[in-house]
Structure 1
């Protein structure tokens, strides 16, 4: 069955309009953030290496460090608002967060509901499977089960590109999808290369190879619409940290590669 964000986002927008408390106009402005001296950032902490907790249960990851960097530049305290892949945009629309930094790829569909900053990083969407799996193209998924995290770009891509007869099994976040792989419930994963790398490091016996690259997407920081001053300030800080190399350092630390040249060029 085809899955789309449209009904989900439409329902959220309609519901918030009825409630009259969660429209984008209610989101904290830059002035309010500076007055309160707190930046609330929605981050999925079950999406390594973007967001996760270490052995000491401290929040870490490339998105966590990006949020920390921006809060520091603003001179305010960072408040991490834990979210899930499916709730990233609803959290912004319902003013539970000021911005979203959570492996959120920039898509035309999402841009109808929220605004995005200029790109600060990238994410690939791939199909991972055991080395000996006979998968070279999307058509090879016919008759097979593929796990993914609900509401993500990976979900959208596999739903759009997989052939008829593919069984797409959706979990609420990357952590539960990873558990399905490591527990042996499934062995084909629609996800990001960094998540496959984290999975392989955690459980080499269940290691997956990247079989198909479905897309390469730029990621942006989500900002509520009609909040242009905050968006402009976030863009200013992203440009600054692309130019001085801070965002590239963060990305390379967690993803073992530099940011693409076209993303770095945004800082010029």
Structure 2
């Protein structure tokens, strides 16, 4: 019975991702190309960013966008000489918003995957974010084999969801939530015993003053992240690849990562299996 339920859950995830990618492909036909020249001409860069994930992108107490990705996005807009207009993205809407032309490009701390690379064009990786299990202090979770003993939460539609399904035992009770903020809140409120997601969930937990009740259990997987443009937006891709290359060399991205994430930025790959960062393959 548990094996059947596990297979059903996995099938739903794969089907859901397939539908999302199909919808994104359909939207692509109506999307408008974005180049640096076109963005400069309109005077505004519409940038898809997270608004509920500390410290990557969130709304601060003053109602302003803040975070690592926000600063990166502002740097890009400044180099383009335009105003940055931020559009809220989620795990479910970011690809349709991009290929549908509602945003010019994404600065989303989005995991690089071969499946997504079939629909969107990734820029060279600019950050990373370990996929981690966080849980109650009393929960005895030391590895994948222990997940089946507890109720585990995850952000549906994110890269974390299929990772959890892959690593968790078939009998694991999984609860899915709409975004990162509600996933963390589910742990804090006792709806689940543990959650799988960003290593930076710990910063959110710390802000609540509940670090005595919850802890990082173990790292599940690496998570390489990149910005994205529409396929065919070669000039925008070249501009952003140059941006990442230059600001890796001058240490700007390292400094921002240290400021917001609190650790050293990893040495990131410039090639990955099944993913083309040049737009020319």
**Fold equivalence (TM over 0.5):** yes
In structure 1, the residue corresponding to 2:72 is in which secondary structure?
Answer: helix
Q: TM-score, normalised by structure 2?
A: 0.86
- For structure 1, the residue ranges without an aligned partner over 5 or more in a row are none
Equivalence map 1:52-201=2 (5 Å): 52-201=58-207
Q: What's the C-alpha RMSD, in Å, of the aligned pairs?
A: 2.1
User: 1:215 — aligned with what?
Assistant: 221
In structure 1, the residue corresponding to 2:202 is in which secondary structure?
Answer: helix
Match of 1:243 among 249, 268, 276: 249
The runs of at least 4 aligned residues of structure 1 exceeding 6 Å deviation read: none
Query: Contact between 2:54 and 2:203, CA under 8 Å: does it hold in 1?
Result: no
Equivalence map 1:9-88=2 (5 Å): 9-15=17-23, 22-23=28-29, 26-88=32-94
Following superposition, the deviation at residue 186 of structure 1 comes to 1.7
The 1:56–1:3 alpha-carbon spacing in structure 2 relative to 1, beyond 3 Å, is farther
User: 1:204 — aligned with what?
Assistant: 210
Query: Contact between 1:115 and 1:223, CA under 8 Å: does it hold in 2?
Result: yes
How many residue pairs match? The answer is 262
The 1:176–1:206 alpha-carbon spacing in structure 2 relative to 1, beyond 3 Å, is farther
Query: Contact between 1:141 and 1:162, CA under 8 Å: does it hold in 2?
Result: yes
1:103 and 1:202 map into 2 onto residues whose CA distance is 23
Query: Contact between 1:120 and 1:220, CA under 8 Å: does it hold in 2?
Result: yes
The 1:185–1:17 alpha-carbon spacing in structure 2 relative to 1, beyond 3 Å, is closer
